[in-house]
Amino acid sequence: MRTQEQAFRAYYSAMTDSELLEIAAHESSFIPIAQRVLEHELAKRHLTPAPPASSPRRSLFRAWKEHTAKWTGRLHHRAASP
């Protein structure tokens, strides 16, 4: 067994079931070896991750745009200081 695989096995085996299910929701962003080891640990525990959320994720740019719009609006509605 390779060192990287051993590290992932130790890491995942130390997690609780709920922690494993939580990270499994983001599994597609993991490197292939991490995905394989995670799938093995889930199968060993007879856990089935929830399907991915159907709503599209917001892009970082859109989130930043919404954040700045909110704060810009607050700044414009503040009363001027004497």
The domain spans of the chain are 1-50
Question: What confidence tens digit (pLDDT) does each residue in 11-34 have?
Answer: 999 999 999 999 998 888 899 999
Q: Per residue in 55-67, is it b (16+ CB within 10 Å) or e — as a string? A: eeeeeeeeeeeee
**pLDDT-derived band of residue 58, with 50, 70 and 90 as boundaries?**
low
**pLDDT-derived band of residue 69, with 50, 70 and 90 as boundaries?**
confident
Return the closest-CA partner of residue 76 out of 61, 65, 63, 68. 68
pTM above 0.85, yes or no: no
Residue 43 structure tokens: 């199968």
Residue 68 structure tokens: 């700045």
